[in-house]
Amino acid sequence: MDFEKLTELIIELEVDDIADAVKEALEQDGKDPFEILNALTKGMDEVGKRYEEKEYYLTELVLAGETMKEAFNVLQPALAAADTSQEKVKIIMGTVKGDNHDIGKNILASLLLSSGFELYDLGMDVDENTIVEKVKETGAKIIALSSLLTMTVEQIKVVDEALKSAGLRDKVKLIVGGAPLNMELAKKLGADDFAEDAVDGVKHIKKLAGI
């Protein structure tokens, strides 16, 4: 099972075949789980392009999401086994209000779990008050937010403001990610940090946590 084939299975939305293909790449071919993840993500990028070019529609997007989830279920234990550090820093995660994309967030979540962080994953479409309450409840020092929609990136600012109003802003670090963001925009919206992908995200979060 080569990487191109895995990318292709995502693009072709082969939801019934992807799990076996990832299993084969891992078990028979001994491929690096992080490289498998890259191949799958490449497939999702192409799906996005086709959607933009109106070659794919919403049905295909949903199916691509399902295919990625199937693949990730198989991949997750291998990713977990590949990373073994043991810090227990608390992290609150979520996708911002109005946004129902969670595949990227879930990938980051499982990499963080496998890096030994204690995770409070609030899911998708999370409003600022839920986040503030969770910070109060857990004393988490890091918040990691995902926004995939240009329309919802402003929610990061809303969370920043809500943390300020609650007197919590200087007690937490806010890191954000998602395709419409970059470091400059993230900072403008009040975040402390941005990372391009989940692997980089873990590195940035370790730095923020002082590990």
What are the residues binding ligand B12 (CB under 6 A)? 41, 44-45, 47-48, 51-52, 58, 61-62, 64-65, 98-105, 107-108, 144-146, 148-151, 175-180, 195, 197-198, 201
The answer to whether 29 and 1 are in contact (CB under 8 A) is yes
Query: Residue 173 carries which DSSP code?
Result: E
Nearest distance in Å: CB 64, ligand B12 = 5
Q: Which residues contact 180 (CB under 8 A, 6 or more apart)?
A: 147, 148, 149, 150, 153
Strand order in the sheet with 173-177: 118-121, 90-95, 142-146, 173-177, 193-194
The answer to whether 25 and 36 are in contact (CB under 8 A) is yes
Nearest distance in Å: CB 92, ligand B12 = 11
64-92 residues labelled b (16+ CB within 10 A) or e (exposed): bbebbebbbebbbebbeeebeeeeebbbb
Nearest distance in Å: CB 72, ligand B12 = 9
Residue entry with tokens 């609030």: 122
Nearest distance in Å: CB 148, ligand B12 = 4
> Closer to ligand B12 at the Cβ: 64 or 89?
64
What's the rounded Cα separation, in Å, for the pair 84 and 103? 23
> Closer to ligand B12 at the Cβ: 145 or 189?
145
Q: Which amino acid is at 131?
A: I
> Closer to ligand B12 at the Cβ: 28 or 59?
59
Q: Which residues contact 93 (CB under 8 A, 6 or more apart)?
A: 105, 108, 109, 112, 119, 120, 121, 122, 143, 144, 145, 146
> Closer to ligand B12 at the Cβ: 14 or 102?
102
Nearest distance in Å: CB 195, ligand B12 = 4
> Closer to ligand B12 at the Cβ: 33 or 201?
201
Nearest distance in Å: CB 101, ligand B12 = 4
> Closer to ligand B12 at the Cβ: 36 or 103?
103
